[in-house]
Amino acid sequence: MNIALLIAGGTGNRMGQSIPKQFLTVNERPVIVYTLEAFQKHPEVDAIAVVCIDGWQSVLRAYANQFNITKLKHIVAGGKNGQDSIRNGVYELEKNYAPEDIVLIHDAIRPMVSEDIISDCIRVTREKGNAITVIPCAEAMMQTEDGIESVGSYPRDRLKRTQTPQGFHIGDICDLHRRALEAGITNSVASCTLKIEMGEQVYFSRGSEKNIKLTTVEDIDIFKALLMAKRSDWLK
């Protein structure tokens, strides 16, 4: 089975809004609904779980009913940071699915994830054991010590910008989190960085510049523009 695990446990402080950014309404739909619908519509996704910020679980259930998200099977409490929230989610999946089943860990605030991105993440996970959605680094990359001046540059062809989903076998990612806790690693920024910090290999699947993460108000503006450009695909 393939299970999508949406991480919606953050408060969205950088957005500066009064409600969590995953629940902001854009064109009469909450952001998280766009993300849920992407996995709901994908033929290879069997179930959806959401790690939800405390106090918003009933709102999430109401939205799932309103927008007919029938694949939503699990709502899990968020943790004190991203690693904590992901661990809560994968541990819950471990109770309900087989170790060889695939989990696609995805930011709830990446609502423009496409069917092709999801499909390629599943494919690479099946072939390689894990898959990290990435895009090339197109910009010149400058090194700095103080954030004011440059001390050099780094070749961009040796860099990838990571996105989500990030795919793993459930048994493997749960084992990774247990070993990370034993090693004292408690605040890794993403599943891919946790793998690297634990000395393990990761593999790449195809992402897209359109697969944006909504972090700032400017990102919401970009999201609205993308929706207008792709209205026939995304607002059926």
2-134+162-228: what fold?
Spore Coat Polysaccharide Biosynthesis Protein SpsA; Chain A (3.90.550)
pTM of the model: 0.94
Give the pLDDT of residue 12. 57
Please give the single-letter amino acid code of residue 157: D
Q: What is the pLDDT of residue 236?
A: 47
Element (H, E) at 33: helix 31-41
Beta-carbon contacts of residue 188 (< 8 Å; ≥ 6 apart) = 82, 83, 180, 194, 197
Asked whether the beta carbons of 162 and 192 are under 8 A apart, the reply is yes
- Containing H/E element for 120? helix 115-128
Query: Span 220-228, mean pLDDT?
Result: 94
pLDDT 10s digits, 91-120: 999 999 999 999 999 999 999 999 999 999
Domain range annotation of the chain: 2-134+162-228
19-44 pLDDT, tens digit each? 889 999 999 999 999 999 999 999 99
Task: Give the 3-state secondary structure of residue 218.
Answer: helix
Q: What is the pLDDT of residue 229?
A: 84
| Calpha distance 6→170 (Å, rounded) | 14
